[in-house]
Structures are given as structure tokens and as C-alpha cells.
Amino acid sequence: MKRIAPVQITDEQREWVDNEQERIGNSIASIIRGLIQEKIDAKEGGNSKKR
């Protein structure tokens, strides 16, 4: 597992993350990991292995 550098997000992006966090109850890190995994799955046709 590797870490990624901190990022700055717009107020609109932060509002979306906060709303998503309230809606599903996951941490911000989990939400971001999920978004990244969705991109990987889409690129690979859904056949990526989970780590």
C-alpha cells in the first residue's frame, strides 16, 4: 500500500465529499479510494483485483 500526496480541493468538491460522507457514512479516505477504484474498474472492464 502506498500513500498519495495531500491535495487541495474546491469548495464545491468538498461540499460533495461532505454530502457523500453523510449519505453513506464512510470516511473521506474511503470515498476517495472508492472513486479511484471505480476508475480502475471502468478502465479494466471491471476485472481488477481488490487490494
Give Cα 42 distance to the centre of its chain: 14
| Domain enclosing residue 39, as ranges | 11-45
Helices 28-43, 11-24: inter-axial angle, 10-degree rounding? 100
- pTM of the predicted protein model: 0.71
Q: What is the pLDDT of residues 5-15, one digit of tens each?
A: 999 999 999 99
Residue 5 in any domain: the answer is: no
39 in any annotated domain: yes
Helices (H), the chain: 11-24, 28-43
Instruction: Please check the confidence at residue 45 and state whether its pLDDT lies above 90.
Output: no
What total number of domains does the chain contain?
Answer: 1
